[in-house]
């Protein structure tokens, strides 16, 4: 097997190192704009066509990240008849149906195990669960950066800005942390999980996401007093009388202290599915990092080497996100009291705000209006665990 590796950053280097230990799986090319003198066993090139026109290369591994040029390189690779492995959650979640249709049309594999859960064997087991069981929900802590921040706010008594700065200093958070702290990274992982769990293709940007940017230490303290931790949770579940619709969202969530989710520390992730026959099954481990993520990428390469098909279901219903059909309790702290939605809520005092009940769609729309109006808002879902 001859491989073209696109990108030699943190995960690209990890994949290269792991593959060097594997006989029969040779990285023939590394595509990178830099010269990379440390790469002595592969051809370093800036020319995508050099790789795509080489008939010896059957598989490419895309680890450039971001949308462009990763999307163009991946579609060109599929069209050239190459199998594709990628860890790119943004690209796959935003172009899910299109990329899968293209891979099927070309008769090649498309695998993206590392795009959700990092080193945790999550999507691959979710796909296996789906084929033998009706799945009802997927949910979990899918972002290490926000878990690190919330955990250090709790255990080291820091406020949000202080915890974020510390996470950036230690290299756990990026210089621009928006995708993590605004819940977008978790949104892409939730979309991919929902797609595989339910055999659908959700529109990623219709999955409501509210992050932890406005959380205060006082919110964690009042949650703790009542027996909860605050965690950023992505969840997707069947809704409607027949369970034939899907709701999917990302929001800070009150997690009971005596649950597995309430006891995940540092950068670790925990993700679970619940289904008929199997009940709840939890997966815990490293959701990011050079070698954990590199390991998951290599697992996909080995799967292709062994002749396994793509990481997706044959059925793929294009379906709107039905967040208006999912209602639950919320802890809500806001000064956007003039909005008619707030006025109409039945409110019970809770911590520094209120406990209210709302649909996911209405609560997230309210938060979006509060943000535009420059008002303060923090909310946390209060779900059964």
Which residues are catalytic, by number?
189
Half-sphere exposure in the Cβ direction for 78 (13 Å, CA): 24
Q: Indicate whether 334 belongs to the interface with ligand HSE (CB under 6 A).
A: no
Q: To the nearest whole angstrom, how small is the minimum distance from the Cβ of residue 288 to ligand HSE? A: 4
Q: Which of residues 125-144 bind ligand HSE (CB under 6 A)?
A: 143-144
Q: To the nearest whole angstrom, how small is the minimum distance from the Cβ of residue 281 to ligand HSE? A: 21
Q: To the nearest whole angstrom, how small is the minimum distance from the Cβ of residue 25 to ligand HSE? A: 24
Alpha-carbon torsion (310, 312, 313, 317), positive or negative: negative
- First CA to last CA across the chain, in angstroms? 45
Comparing CA positions, the residue from 337, 349, 340 lying closest to residue 375 is: 337
Q: Which of residues 41-60 bind ligand HSE (CB under 6 A)?
A: none
Q: To the nearest whole angstrom, how small is the minimum distance from the Cβ of residue 118 to ligand HSE? A: 5
Q: Indicate whether 7 belongs to the interface with ligand HSE (CB under 6 A).
A: no
Q: Indicate whether 145 belongs to the interface with ligand HSE (CB under 6 A).
A: yes
Q: To the nearest whole angstrom, how small is the minimum distance from the Cβ of residue 254 to ligand HSE? A: 21
Is the CB of residue 177 less than 8 Å from the CB of residue 164? yes
Give the bridge partners for 358, in sequence order.
328
Q: What pairing do the DSSP bridges indicate for beta strands 83-86 and 200-202?
A: unpaired
Q: Indicate whether 204 belongs to the interface with ligand HSE (CB under 6 A).
A: no
Q: Indicate whether 177 belongs to the interface with ligand HSE (CB under 6 A).
A: no
Question: Looking only at Cα atoms, what is the longest distance across the chain?
Answer: 67
**Nearer Cβ to ligand HSE (29/139):** 139
Q: To the nearest whole angstrom, how small is the minimum distance from the Cβ of residue 291 to ligand HSE? A: 13
The CA distance from 382 to 176, in Å, is 29
SS3 199: coil
Is the CB of residue 61 less than 8 Å from the CB of residue 297? yes
Give the bridge partners for 3, in sequence order.
27, 59
Binding residue count for ligand HSE, defined by CB under 6 A: 8
Structure tokens, 186: 């978790």
What would the x/- binding string for ligand HSE be over residues 68 to 107, using CB under 6 A? ----------------------------------------
Q: Indicate whether 353 belongs to the interface with ligand HSE (CB under 6 A).
A: no
Give the bridge partners for 202, in sequence order.
319
The CA distance from 358 to 361, in Å, is 8
**Nearer Cβ to ligand HSE (178/308):** 178
Q: State the burial class of residue 297 (Cβ atoms within 10 Å of its Cβ: 0-12, 13-18, 19+).
A: buried
Please pick, from the candidates 62, 154, 185, 300, the single residue that binds ligand HSE as defined by CB under 6 A.
185
Q: Indicate whether 288 belongs to the interface with ligand HSE (CB under 6 A).
A: yes
Q: Indicate whether 180 belongs to the interface with ligand HSE (CB under 6 A).
A: yes
**Nearer Cβ to ligand HSE (212/370):** 212
Q: What pairing do the DSSP bridges indicate for beta strands 135-141 and 228-239?
A: antiparallel
Residues engaged in binding ligand HSE (CB under 6 A): 118, 143-145, 180, 185, 287-288
């Amino acid at each position: 097997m001859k491989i073209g590796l696109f990108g030699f950053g943190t995960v690209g280097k990890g994949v290269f190192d792991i593959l060097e230990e594997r006989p029969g799986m040779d990285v023939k090319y590394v595509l990178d704009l830099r010269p990379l003198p440390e790469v002595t066993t592969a051809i370093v090139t800036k020319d995508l066509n050099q790789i795509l026109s080489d008939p010896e290369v059957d598989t490419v591994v895309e680890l450039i990240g971001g949308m462009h040029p990763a999307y163009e390189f991946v579609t060109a690779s599929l069209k050239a008849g190459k199998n594709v492995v990628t860890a790119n959650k943004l690209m796959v979640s935003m172009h899910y149906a299109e990329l899968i249709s293209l891979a099927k049309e070309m008769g090649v594999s498309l695998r993206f195990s590392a795009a959700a859960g990092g080193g945790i064997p999550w999507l691959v087991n979710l796909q296996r669960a789906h084929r033998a069981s009706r799945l009802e929900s997927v949910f979990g802590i899918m972002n290490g950066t926000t878990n690190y921040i919330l955990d250090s706010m709790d255990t080291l008594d820091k406020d949000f800005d202080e915890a974020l700065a510390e996470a950036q200093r230690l290299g756990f958070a990026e210089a621009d942390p928006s995708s993590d702290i605004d819940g977008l990274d978790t949104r892409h992982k939730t979309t991919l999980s929902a797609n595989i769990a339910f055999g659908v293709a959700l529109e990623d940007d219709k999955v409501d996401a509210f992050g932890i940017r406005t959380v205060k230490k006082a919110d964690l303290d009042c949650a703790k007093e009542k027996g909860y931790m605050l965690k950023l949770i992505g969840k997707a579940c069947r809704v409607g009388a027949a369970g034939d619709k899907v709701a999917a969202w990302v929001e800070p969530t009150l997690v009971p202290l005596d649950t597995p989710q309430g006891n995940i520390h540092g950068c670790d992730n925990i993700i679970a599915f619940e289904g008929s026959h199997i009940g709840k099954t939890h997966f815990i481990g490293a959701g990011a990092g050079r070698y954990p993520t590199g390991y998951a990428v290599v697992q996909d390469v080995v799967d292709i080497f062994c002749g396994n098909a793509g990481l997706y279901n044959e059925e793929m219903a294009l379906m709107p996100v039905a967040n208006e059909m999912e209602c639950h309790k919320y802890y809500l702290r806001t000064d956007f009291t003039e909005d008619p939605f707030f006025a109409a809520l039945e409110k019970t005092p809770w911590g520094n705000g209120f406990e209210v009940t709302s649909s996911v769609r209405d609560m997230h729309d309210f938060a979006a209006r509060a943000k535009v109006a420059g008002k303060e808002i923090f909310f946390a879902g209060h779900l059964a665990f």
